[in-house]
Amino acid sequence: MSTLFTTPPPPLQSAIATFPHPAVLLVTLNRPKDLNCISTPGHYELDALWRWYDTEPSLRCAILTGNGRAFCAGADLKEWHASQSSPNSNSTSNSETRRSMPPSGFGGLSRRSGKKPIICAVNGACLGGGCEMIINADLVIAERGAVFGLPEVKIGVVALAGALTRLVRTVGRQRAMEMALTGRPLDAQEVRDWGLVNRVVEKGEGVREAVRVAVVIAGNSPDSVIVSREGVKMGWEGVGAEEGTRLVLENWYSKMDKGENMKEGVRSFVEKRKPEWVPSKL
C-alpha cells in the first residue's frame, strides 16, 4: 500500500491504518481490552500519522474510529497511576514527561489545526480525551448506543486537552457547563441535539456511513475542501466574519486561483462532465 504514497505512513503500535478508498485514510484505535484508552506514546503516534496524512497528496479525507465496544474512553489511567507510584514520582520533570502530549493534543486531534478534514465514527464509549477529540473533529458520525461525556470532575482531574474552550463554541455556555461540571454521560441522540454530532446511525453502521461521507468529500476539489475548511474553522475559533473572509481571500484564495483545480472545475461544468482533480498543492 505504501507504494501508492510519496512516503510510507508512520508505524503504529496502538492503532491500525487502512484505506477503504484510495483517497480515504481509516484509523482504528486498537486497544479494545483497555477501551481504546490512549497512552503517552499513542498520542505521538497519532500526531505523526495526522501530519503524514496532511502532507500526502493522494489522501483527501480521514476517519477515526475504535475497535471493540469503545471509541475511546480517554487517557490511560493505569499508565498514569503507575507513573505516580514510581520511585521518582516526586520529580517535576518526570511528572511533566508522563503527562506530556504533542501540541496537537489528545490523540494528535483535540487541538489539531491541520489542513485536511477528519471524521470521527463513534462506535461506543466516547469519554474524557475521546470526547475531547470529537469536539475538535470536523464531522462526527455516532452509532446508537454510543455514550459521550467529560467525567474528569468525578475523579479529581480536568479536561485540559482543549475541549473546554472549544466546547462552549459548539453547544453554548449552559450546556458546556453541564457537561464539564456534572460529568454525566450523554447518549448519541442528545449530543446530536446539542450539535456535537452530525448524524446518528444504527449500531455497526458508523464506519460505513463515515466512509460514504468521506468519499463524497474526496470527490470534491481538494483545494476547495482545504480552503472551505479553513474558512469555517476561522469563524469557529472566534475570528470576526470580515476578518476571516479577508484572511481566506489573502492567504488561501490567491493560491487556489493559480492552481489547476479551479480551472478544471469551471471547465468541467461548462463541458458538462465530471471533473478530474489533481492533488492539491496548497
CATH code for position 171: 3.90.226.10
127 contacts 146 by C-beta, under 8 angstroms: no
pLDDT per residue over 178-211, tens digit each? 999 999 999 999 999 999 999 999 999 999 999 9
**pLDDT at position 84:** 56
Based on the residue annotation, tell me whether 152 is a catalytic residue of this protein. yes
Which pLDDT score, from 0 to 100, does residue 109 have?
A: 97
Same domain, 153 and 238: no
In this predicted structure, the answer to whether residue 48 has a pLDDT above a threshold of 90 is yes
Do residue 212 and residue 226 come from a single domain?
no
Whether 281 is covered by a domain: the verdict is: no
Report the candidate in 166, 217, 234 with the shortest Cα–Cα distance to residue 195. 166
**Pair (7, 49) in one structural domain:** yes
Are 239 and 158 within one domain? no
Domain assignment of residue 279, yes or no: no
Backbone angles phi, psi at 241, to 5 degrees: -55, -50
Do 127 and 267 share a domain, yes or no? Answer: no
Range of the domain at 108: 2-218
Give the model confidence (pLDDT) of 87-110 as tens digits: 554 444 344 434 578 999 999 999
Q: Specify whether 87 is located in the same domain as 144.
A: yes
- The reported pLDDT for the residue numbered 205 is 98
**Percent of the chain having pLDDT more than 90?**
67
Query: Exposed, middle or buried by CB within 10 Å (0-12, 13-18, 19+), for 137?
Result: buried
Task: Report the number of distinct structural domains present in the chain.
Answer: 2
For residue 277, is it within any domain?
no
The upper half-sphere exposure of residue 48, i.e. CA atoms within 13 Å in the direction of its Cβ, equals 15
Average of per-residue pLDDT across 249-261: 77
Q: Which of 75, 137, 214, 218 is catalytic?
A: 75
> Are residues 244 and 167 located together in one domain of the fold?
no
Percent of the chain with pLDDT over 70: 90
* Contact (Cβ atoms closer than 8 angstroms) between residue 136 and residue 115: no
- Does residue 212 lie in a domain region? yes
Residue that is last in its domain, among 197, 218, 239: 218
In a domain, 59, yes or no: yes
The residue type of 142 is A
Q: Where does a domain end: 199, 218, 237?
A: 218
> Do residues 235 and 107 both lie within one domain?
no
Judge whether 251 lies within some domain. Answer: yes
Annotated active-site residue 264? The verdict is no
User: What confidence tier does 263 reach under pLDDT thresholds 50, 70, 90?
Assistant: confident
142 is written with which cell numbers?
Answer: 455516532
* Last residue of one domain, picked from the residues 174, 196, 218: 218
Asked whether the predicted pLDDT for residue 1 surpasses 50, the reply is: no
Averaged confidence pLDDT in the chain: 89
Residue 83: predicted pLDDT:
60
Residue 280 placed within a domain: no
94: left (phi over 0), alpha (psi -120 to 50) or beta: alpha
Residues 198 and 226 in one domain: no
**In a shared domain, residues 145 and 262:** no
Among 32, 75, 25, 80, which residue's Cα sits nearest to residue 50? Answer: 25
Q: What is the pLDDT of residues 115-174, one digit of tens each?
A: 999 999 999 999 999 999 999 999 999 999 999 999 999 988 888 899 999 999 999 999
Q: Are residues 233 and 143 in the same domain?
A: no
Residue of higher predicted confidence among 169 and 86: 169
Phi, psi at 258, each rounded to 5°: -85, -10
The reply to whether 33 and 170 lie within a common domain is yes
Residue 181 placed within a domain: yes
